[in-house]
Structure 1
Amino acid sequence: MEAFIALFVYSFLLSFLRTSTTLDTITPSQSIRDGETLVSAGRIFELGFFSPGSSKSRYVGIWYVVSKDTAVWVANRETPIENHYGVLKVTNKGSLVLLDKTNTTIWSSNTPRTGGNKINYPTAQLLDSGNFAVTDGNISDPKTLLWQSFDYPSDTFLPEMKLGWDLVSGLDRYLTSWKSAEDPAQGEISEGFDRRGLPQLVAMKGDKIKVRSGSWNGLYFTGRPWLTPNQLFKYEFVMNEKEIYFEYELLNNSILMRYMLNPLGIGQKFKWMGNTKSWELVSASQSNECENYGHCGAYASCNINKSPVCACLNGFIPKFPKDWNSADWSGGCVRGTPLGCNDGDGFLNLKDVKLPDTSSSWFDWNMNLKECEELCLKNCSCKAYANLDIRNEGSGCLLWFADLVDIVVLQIGGQELYIREAASLLNHIEKKRHLQVIIIVCSAILLLVMLVVGLVSCVRRMKLRNEEMNIRCQNDYNNEGKKEDMELPIFDLTVISNATDNFASSNKLGEGGFGSVYKGTLLGGQEIAVKRLSKNSRQGLIEFKNEVILIAKLQHRNLVKLLGCCIQENEKLLIYEYMHNKSLDSFIFDQMKSKLLDWRMRNNIISGITRGLLYLHEDSRLRIIHRDLKASNILLDDNMNPKISDFGLAKLFGTDQIEANTNRIVGTYGYMPPEYAGYGHFSVKTDVFSFGVLVLEIISGKKNKEFCNSDQFLNLLGHAWRLWIEDKPMKLIDEFLLFDNSCTLSELLRFIHVGLLCVQQRPEDRPNMSSVVLMLSSEISLPKPSQPGFYTEKAQVGEDYSSRMLEAPSINEITFTSLEAR
């Protein structure tokens, strides 16, 4: 009896250990039963039994640990088990077998690659790549590989998986869609390489091409020019005597990406979003009708930006005009002028296109483009030629000997295709081109004359209108009756009132402690922004005029331009140029509009702010401390160029003055440095701190003041600092920028580095703006940043300075207070 109890306890413990220990490997002495799983070492992928959707059938598959309903590979696609008694084993011969409850083999892997050698230690292991590999011993030795799931894809193409041919074994690795979301059996659509002629990537429906990505040109597939190397991916296409394949590799292992061929035959690329615990669609094939193979037939091009989308190539006419005019373009086009073959044929250059179907092509890697042209001319059957490889000004030769099908005009990328044409047609095209040049030149001259006449007329009208305004502002409202010259155009109150519909609320752009801002339109059509100073403002007439005089002297392309002012009937108005794109905060903090700002635009905005601050601090006739630099005070013109606005809180320094103190602390929390918010101490380093906050906000797309790390109670500065010291600065970057081909990771990290240098706790540690310009525009080594000021969300205002007067910050685009003259 004791022996039986001991045996029972031993069996129970063994079973407990079996189910509670996470395994990634099985051997012939082990098995995986329904309800048990293997988990890869890094806990990325899991293998076991599952039922897709509402199906009751059981399949052996691989899925993501974080997304258990996302299967990336299925073993028994065609032979499901209808109960929960399935068992997966690896045999002593190195094969995987799936058995049902009667021990009948439901599915098995192919005969392993042994080369006639004896198998000693067969082991099946689930890897962090998602590959399920069977080896004879050491998994790291490629020679021991017997079988792998990566050689038999389902509907999903994972990083490091090869898509293509092993020419030695004859193995063809290609994707096949599921029949439906609940049936993983092979559907109608497959995606892989067509080896005829120059190999090309195609999606097939049965034996017919459905979508053609094209051939590889050294950088990308000709129909997928956006598949270029970037900071996230590395692509590789290999073609030699042993294999033809394409693969991609993720450069950041913390990111999960997958490409799948859905049941409808549409290729979709997904990225896992950790914050929402869901897959985000990054891109999809067949996004427009030009993606459909041969949509316009032979000798025609498809351009999605034109209507109709199909057009015959130069020198070709519709084969069936009636069908063509009825939008049935499948018949394509035929030559309007027969080729002369040896009678002086030439070639017409077609630019920025996806090359036509290469299944009937011929190629040579060693020829240049001139030799390619000569070879094509010698063969009357040659229809066109192009470079094989577009890198390094082009190399190799690609010739077409069948009808040119599936030519698509691309909006980005694309190649040059040289199409054979009759000499008579080329001469006609050349004469037509000369005539077009003459017409364009004559039209340009006529347009120029009209513009000059219009400009002269406009200038004359402006002079007449300006004569109705006071060119000099006289202080008629000064109690002492003195007259002072403001040297700035003065607008009549009636003109401004009419321009703003009597300051209608519908024209109000913003409102703050110093007044309101309105949009207006002058009689000539010019749009303006009107700052209406509040009657409750502390600013008197003298202070207002002094401020206007000083601001009028500031002239820089990255500062908002002051057009004029108005002092009439107790109204104090300032007229500025109007910015159609409003302020920077309306873009970078908006989930949708932020995607309009790629890295090139954000870089330009940061550089423009840098130049504007440098001008204020060092290059203007006055030294100005802005004191309220923030995203809402950076306005964007029609070309998204930044212009610093809101000088209402600015302070004027003498050219030899470095710092000052004030008892009147004004500004916006989140952008103010500690020494100013706490003690009223300000200098040019005050603006440098605000600039650093702006840089980190622009790169991250997050507000410093509203961002809060729930674990550490960190604001954006503290969060950026912690990521920096933990060597994880990439996590700060706006996810949208990681897919932007216009930026490099090193450049982004350098901007983050400079931003952290600008927000350091001690003002003397922060660089001045001339140093910032040098840091951002060169490769000089940068010092290590120290801890930023206001590290946590609750460190903004301390007890040491609670007695100081704090003014509410302005929320509109333009506010004003006093400036101190030299």
Structure 2
Amino acid sequence: MARFRSICNTLEVLFFLIFSAWSLGNRGSEAKDTLLAGEKLRDGENLVSAHKLFEVKFINLENSQNRYLAILYLFGYDGRAVWIANRDNPLMDSSGVLSINRKGNLVLTSGKGNSTIINSEEPAMGGNTSATILDSGNLILRDGERILWQSSDYLSDYTLYLQNDTTLGTETTREKGRQLLDFGHSAKRKLWLQITVLVLIIMSAFLIAFIICRLKSRYCDSGGNNEKNEENDTASSRLQLNKFSDIEAAYKNNNASEQKLCGNKDSELPLFSFSSIESATNNFSTTNKLGEGGFGPVYKGKLVGGQEIAVKRLSKMSRQGLEQFKNEFTLICKLQHRNLVRLLGCCIEGDELILIYEYMPNKGLDSFLFDPMKRALLDWRTRVSIIEGIAQGLLYLHKYSRLKIIHRDLKTSNVLLDCDMNPKISDFGTARVFGQNESQANTSRIIGTFGYMSPEYAMDGLFSEKSDVFSFGVMMLEIVSGRKNNGFYQTDSDLNLLGYAWDLRNQEKILELMDSTLVDSCSTNEFEFIRYVHVGFLCVQQSAADRPTMSEVVSMLSNETTSLPSPKQPAFTIGKSNIGVESSLSTGQESVNDVTISVMNGR
């Protein structure tokens, strides 16, 4: 019966994928998805993407009577807004009209005036300007085949191929685009044929297995000798199915409905075979091992085509890893930002659960920042770029992603660096999704890293955007000083990094906090250094209400003329003597790096 249940489960997954893909591919295309020059989109009308996944229309926000032009996600989320054009300039009535003016700009007109909401960086040349909502939720403005502007930093159309072609606009390029589309349609037809044959084979095997299992069950019931073995086998199989049922459901949901969110219409999350991952990692060779955490080991690999990858393999003994796998798998596919690590695919085969990411050749920020030799490679401008990149990625998670995400474990080891030292936030295993109107949540199971956790989270299990802001502030002070907050104590005063930095501020010696390797590259930027430390102090204040939002942090970092409020004393400024905090954390189970708190109860 264990084999019978396994076959049923597999068959259910296949039928769900087939039905979902068929229903998505056969949705009506009668709705209009393009606004041409000279046409108008009035309040009450809409543009709908080809497969009815997204629409552009005027809406109200948060029970306000004001009107906003927005892109809404229709499939499964009941009209959630993913992009708003005039958030800071709402219309007072329903007289709004969206159109394309003679200059090729997208403009929003109302009864009380005319305001340009979108200015393309390049002027329209061909006079054939149009605005189209794609199945990725991206609104693009183009002049013929040339893209002038887009609402998000990705495309979901063969126009991306045309846009990057050096012979843009030629008949050869257009022919390449048509060939690319024809190839996609041909591949889909072949895929459906293969799936149909596969389903027929599986159905036949299912019927045979059902008959065999029924006969075996009757034999065991009558004989009695195998009853105990079958009971053990059934219990084991039930545990196995329970372990992976949520994973399979997540995979079904991602491939059936969320595939449209991850780039273009053919960019469903790839499912790698275990044999291909074994080959890529040289059978998970220890020489390819990059590290290990609560999830399990991480390996470097290379696919057949030459692409380098990072492979996270769930440890079979890791309960924490299973939960993190499900969390990362269901969340990260929906996230698209240059400062977030990209998930390339996964492997769900037998009892193997594996996540495949883009490979970051420079590994974690901590490997540079806290290495006596390597940290000299991080000059002041590089560190500023890293801080700003982390801030942009975190702002996207909190405000601009399709789902409002609280990371909950931001630290330097979870910030990876690509070949150009661009930062990418990683490890979303402990992240939580917030509703649009949700500002704070509570948990009795605290997962995070001491030294980066905000006081309200560490002590009471309360977390919010401001918890991530606190972690970001700690990282800022670590980046500018080259010192770890966790484990840094002054022997004479028993202060951790936050307390040490605060003490220097009070003595007006804040420049002494500067990493000694920055003296040359920061000699002409001392004002900027002091300002960055100031912003860091604002982020690590004791009260969450006193901390800025990431929108405000980005503004503070990018605008030197903005006046900054005076910070209050940071949390956790006393080191080992802070018994009330540290003793409560020390009871948690820790990972191999001796800093990650995996399970504990909030007070």
Q: Does 1:621 align with 2:389?
A: no
Q: Which residue of the partner structure matches residue 447 of structure 2?
A: 666
Residue type matched to 2:393 in 1? G
Matching of residues 38-187 of structure 1 within 5 Å: none
Q: Does 1:695 align with 2:476?
A: yes
The one of 530, 546, 549 equivalent to 1:765 is: 546
Distance in 1, matches of 2:323 and 2:345, equals 16
Per-residue deviation, 1:485: 3.6
The TM-score, its normalising length taken from structure 2, stands at 0.55
Per-residue deviation, 1:579: 0.3
Per-residue deviation, 1:537: 2.2
Q: Does 1:798 align with 2:573?
A: no
Residue type matched to 1:538 in 2? R
The one of 339, 347, 352 equivalent to 1:566 is: 347
Per-residue deviation, 1:815: 13
The one of 535, 547, 564 equivalent to 1:782 is: 564
Distance in 2, matches of 1:505 and 1:460, equals 41
Q: Which residue of the partner structure matches residue 360 of structure 2?
A: 579
Q: Which residue of the partner structure matches residue 536 of structure 1?
A: 317
Residue type matched to 1:791 in 2? T
What is the CA deviation profile of residues 197-228 of structure 1, one whole-angstrom value per residue up to 9, with x for unaligned ones? Answer: xxxxxxxxxxxxxxxxxxxxxxxxxxxxxxxx
Q: Is the 8 A contact 2:448 2:598 kept in 1?
A: no
Distance in 2, matches of 1:767 and 1:599, equals 24
Q: Which residue of the partner structure matches residue 486 of structure 1?
A: 254
What is the CA deviation profile of residues 637-661 of structure 1, one whole-angstrom value per residue up to 9, with x for unaligned ones? Answer: 0110000001111111111111111
Q: Does 1:750 align with 2:531?
A: yes
Residue type matched to 2:455 in 1? P
Distance in 1, matches of 2:288 and 2:329, equals 24
Decide whether aligned partners of structure 1 residues 759 and 800 sit closer, same or farther in structure 2, where only a CA change above 3 A counts: closer
3-state DSSP of counterpart to 1:635: strand
Q: Is the 8 A contact 2:395 2:551 kept in 1?
A: yes
Higher relative contact order (CA 8 A, sep 6+): 2
Q: Which residue of the partner structure matches residue 497 of structure 1?
A: 278
Q: Is the 8 A contact 1:582 1:635 kept in 2?
A: yes
Q: Is the 8 A contact 2:439 2:465 kept in 1?
A: yes
Distance in 1, matches of 2:299 and 2:191, equals 23
Matching of residues 416-815 of structure 1 within 5 Å: 478=241, 484-487=252-255, 488-538=269-319, 544-545=325-326, 547-740=328-521, 743-778=524-559, 779-794=561-576, 798=580, 802=584, 806-809=588-591, 811=593
Decide whether aligned partners of structure 1 residues 741 and 660 sit closer, same or farther in structure 2, where only a CA change above 3 A counts: closer
Residue type matched to 2:300 in 1? K
What is the CA deviation profile of residues 33-70 of structure 1, one whole-angstrom value per residue up to 9, with x for unaligned ones? Answer: xxxxxxxxxxxxxxxxxxxxxxxxxxxxxxxxxxxxxx
3-state DSSP of counterpart to 1:617: helix
Decide whether aligned partners of structure 1 residues 811 and 522 sit closer, same or farther in structure 2, where only a CA change above 3 A counts: farther
Distance in 1, matches of 2:597 and 2:311, equals 11
3-state DSSP of counterpart to 1:611: helix
Decide whether aligned partners of structure 1 residues 606 and 454 sit closer, same or farther in structure 2, where only a CA change above 3 A counts: farther
Per-residue deviation, 1:631: 0.7
Per-residue deviation, 1:549: 2.2
Structure 2 residue runs of 5 or longer lacking an equivalent are 1-165, 168-172, 200-205, 207-239, 256-268
Q: Is the 8 A contact 2:335 2:401 kept in 1?
A: yes
Distance in 1, matches of 2:292 and 2:498, equals 28
Distance in 2, matches of 1:541 and 1:709, equals 39
Decide whether aligned partners of structure 1 residues 452 and 597 sit closer, same or farther in structure 2, where only a CA change above 3 A counts: farther
Distance in 1, matches of 2:383 and 2:500, equals 21
Q: Is the 8 A contact 1:626 1:647 kept in 2?
A: yes
Decide whether aligned partners of structure 1 residues 545 and 716 sit closer, same or farther in structure 2, where only a CA change above 3 A counts: closer
Per-residue deviation, 1:718: 0.4
Distance in 2, matches of 1:619 and 1:577, equals 22
Structure 1 residue runs of 5 or longer lacking an equivalent are 1-443, 446-450, 818-822
Distance in 2, matches of 1:568 and 1:598, equals 45
Distance in 2, matches of 1:563 and 1:612, equals 18
Decide whether aligned partners of structure 1 residues 757 and 460 sit closer, same or farther in structure 2, where only a CA change above 3 A counts: same
Q: Which residue of the partner structure matches residue 162 of structure 2?
A: none
Residue type matched to 1:755 in 2? G
What is the CA deviation profile of residues 724-748 of structure 1, one whole-angstrom value per residue up to 9, with x for unaligned ones? Answer: 1111100001122221168511111
Q: Is the 8 A contact 1:665 1:807 kept in 2?
A: no
What is the CA deviation profile of residues 689-728 of structure 1, one whole-angstrom value per residue up to 9, with x for unaligned ones? Answer: 1111111111011111122112211111001000011111
Decide whether aligned partners of structure 1 residues 515 and 542 sit closer, same or farther in structure 2, where only a CA change above 3 A counts: closer
Decide whether aligned partners of structure 1 residues 780 and 490 sit closer, same or farther in structure 2, where only a CA change above 3 A counts: same
Kindly indicate which of the two structures has a greater share of residues assigned to strand. Answer: 1
Residue type matched to 1:616 in 2? L
Decide whether aligned partners of structure 1 residues 745 and 530 sit closer, same or farther in structure 2, where only a CA change above 3 A counts: same
Per-residue deviation, 1:489: 1.1
Decide whether aligned partners of structure 1 residues 742 and 801 sit closer, same or farther in structure 2, where only a CA change above 3 A counts: closer
Residue type matched to 1:789 in 2? A
Decide whether aligned partners of structure 1 residues 816 and 517 sit closer, same or farther in structure 2, where only a CA change above 3 A counts: farther
Decide whether aligned partners of structure 1 residues 802 and 700 sit closer, same or farther in structure 2, where only a CA change above 3 A counts: closer
CA RMSD between the two structures? 4.0
Per-residue deviation, 1:804: 9.5
3-state DSSP of counterpart to 2:448: coil
Q: Is the 8 A contact 2:442 2:463 kept in 1?
A: yes
Per-residue deviation, 1:618: 1.1
Decide whether aligned partners of structure 1 residues 598 and 800 sit closer, same or farther in structure 2, where only a CA change above 3 A counts: closer
Q: Is the 8 A contact 2:444 2:461 kept in 1?
A: yes
Q: Is the 8 A contact 2:485 2:497 kept in 1?
A: yes
Decide whether aligned partners of structure 1 residues 814 and 743 sit closer, same or farther in structure 2, where only a CA change above 3 A counts: farther
Decide whether aligned partners of structure 1 residues 700 and 545 sit closer, same or farther in structure 2, where only a CA change above 3 A counts: closer
Distance in 2, matches of 1:453 and 1:511, equals 48
Residue type matched to 2:254 in 1? M
Per-residue deviation, 1:453: 13
3-state DSSP of counterpart to 1:806: coil
Q: Is the 8 A contact 2:327 2:431 kept in 1?
A: no
Decide whether aligned partners of structure 1 residues 510 and 812 sit closer, same or farther in structure 2, where only a CA change above 3 A counts: farther
Per-residue deviation, 1:806: 2.5
What is the CA deviation profile of residues 265-293 of structure 1, one whole-angstrom value per residue up to 9, with x for unaligned ones? Answer: xxxxxxxxxxxxxxxxxxxxxxxxxxxxx
Residue type matched to 1:632 in 2? S
What is the CA deviation profile of residues 176-205 of structure 1, one whole-angstrom value per residue up to 9, with x for unaligned ones? Answer: xxxxxxxxxxxxxxxxxxxxxxxxxxxxxx
Q: How many residues align?
A: 367
Per-residue deviation, 1:454: 13
Residue type matched to 1:631 in 2? T
3-state DSSP of counterpart to 1:576: strand
Q: Which residue of the partner structure matches residue 22 of structure 1?
A: none
Decide whether aligned partners of structure 1 residues 716 and 540 sit closer, same or farther in structure 2, where only a CA change above 3 A counts: closer
What is the CA deviation profile of residues 62-94 of structure 1, one whole-angstrom value per residue up to 9, with x for unaligned ones? Answer: xxxxxxxxxxxxxxxxxxxxxxxxxxxxxxxxx
Question: Quick check: which has more Rg, 1 or 2?
Answer: 1
